[in-house]
């Protein structure tokens, strides 16, 4: 199940997002609107949910959330963006990485 998370996620939402992959949740994070979509098998599915809800593709970055360790992973195919000077699956810009981490921690952290 993919959730659009605009305010702090509930424990139940986290558990349902974990059902697909078990130990982590695939995410797409909008660094301008400060929201994310999480769950499902692919980052692109989460990205589609954000796009359907008014996000701009240029503002969306793929990440993973590991609830047990409260860590963020920064690798996703949707992050390969030569036009934005990101030629890798990993988010290379430290400012974007920090924004993604802050949004994920605010919306999913601590549960």
Q: Average pLDDT across each block of 10 residues of the chain; the chain has 111 residues. List them in order.
A: 96 96 97 97 98 98 97 98 96 98 96 66
Cβ atoms of 64 and 46 closer than 8 Å: no
- pLDDT, position 72: 98
Give the DSSP H or E segment for 29: strand 25-30
Percentages helix, strand, coil for the chain, rounded to the nearest 5? 40, 25, 40
- pLDDT, position 110: 83
- pLDDT, position 92: 97
Nearest alpha-carbon partner for 70 in 6, 36, 24, 30:
24
Q: Where along the chain do its domains lie?
A: 3-108
């Amino acid at each position: 199940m993919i959730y659009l998370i605009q305010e702090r996620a509930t424990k139940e939402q986290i558990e349902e997002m974990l059902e697909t992959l078990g130990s982590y949740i695939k995410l797409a994070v909008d660094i301008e609107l400060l929201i994310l979509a999480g769950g499902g098998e692919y980052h692109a599915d989460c990205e589609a949910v954000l796009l359907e809800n008014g996000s701009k593709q240029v503002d969306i970055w793929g990440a993973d959330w590991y609830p047990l360790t409260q860590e963020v992973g920064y690798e996703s195919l949707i992050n390969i963006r030569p036009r934005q000077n990101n030629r890798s699956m990993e988010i290379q810009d430290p400012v974007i990485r920090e924004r993604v981490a802050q949004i994920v921690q605010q919306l999913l952290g601590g549960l």
